[in-house]
Chains A and B, each alone.
Chain A
């Protein structure tokens, strides 16, 4: 059972999205730079669903790497910049559960200023926004492959989000959903943990990789590409595993029956 936190339902109800409200996209640094297709898929998906999107160009980072490493004072400057960029927006949506958790759960520890906390609480992970605020599970996606779902720990336990991505993935047409064994176990990324405790991080990642292979999936899908960066990075090194593709759920949800992304 998921331990539910103060900053997630059911402690509070999701606010209702009013049609026409603009959603500001928070595209984390590593997606911006290394997986821009995920940002594009997110923007196109929301647009296709009738949501006007904006991208505040002043955004940089949510501050999580510094925060998790204990460098809260250094994180504070970055968090303030985040809030400056996003404050005008009622809805902030991000294709990263872990960055969302940083905003919604941990901003308060970095800076208790109510404006900063307020901005943090308006950040939503993509699938939870789609399911809880928009009320959708089926977005008309088509992806005829065997796919398994990995949900990152911050998404699962800090945000309490695990049903949303699962429902959405299972609603995709043509998909053959393969359950991931021991789905709730950490993949071992943990941000700087991956390089501070590399041996253990790799051991945990290998276990996750083996479970992915055991699931029989051709593709591992996640709302957290940061986890997959680590696990898939391990799988790409292993001849027995490198046939498995890694995709962000936004990309899968954006796959249309014509075979082309929208």
Chain B
């Protein structure tokens, strides 16, 4: 017991630092004695990273909640101002690190729009394939992870197992499992290796069988439905007001998908696919919509692989890229939602200002409204179903 007796004398510097950190939250805590303030995070298994949600509880019911982010802020928007365009591509891979290729695409498309160049068709099709594979990689993790948050430990292992096929494919073509850094202004870095198309079709089959398995195992489970139906209902108008996008808002019934509804040089218009919506707007709906989206993504990839045009994958661009002056707003339907870049160029080697509009930032801002009056286990369910990535919130 001598190891634990005689505590060290008070370190005042550290104490004041801790007090400053505590005041940091600038949370408006009323001086009541009722209710318990609970800190969910920043280190917590349920918050997908370093998100901190401060809640005041009345028993197990949340009376007031406030999400506090910024524990992972890396200052991307300032960094892009002193980077060349290819260097920025490397940076922005790491915003949403699960579906990384999808982060590069809107930026590259915006820069190409400013330069007035178009990538050749083969490159656009392969970009679309990789975009959808990023979506699959991202959303399959969600499908398994939501089970873990609710207590079902097993589906997540199936998710990781089947995700490995997709990641291996991405690595074989680009060299990186998580951060492919594959997109270039004017096209792609390299063409696909030999045999890639067959392997990809095999991987898509496996992902589809995983989706079927999960539909029975998890989504059909009565306990899962009891935990997710009716929890965290987001009315469509409020969701749009907060700027929620992607599967979150489609689960509230809004039929909006930028792949279909915006002009984009990528190849989504060349294939047949469906936008999935669900009228309920609760956590189950969000899970259901994402499951269907994974299936749809595999079907898109299959169709694209069949019709892949031949040709060059890079158009003629100078070695050192300088984008002419102008402003452009370019957005795409990323796995997490709508992601966009507002690029201001003044003719230099890098952007003058690059505003990164990330989906999770808006998705998480709804939490303070959404979490009122829910139980603590439901807080976990809601956090899991909204599906944010910390890099996306904090940039």
A, B co-complexed: no
Binding site for A on B (CB under 8 A): none
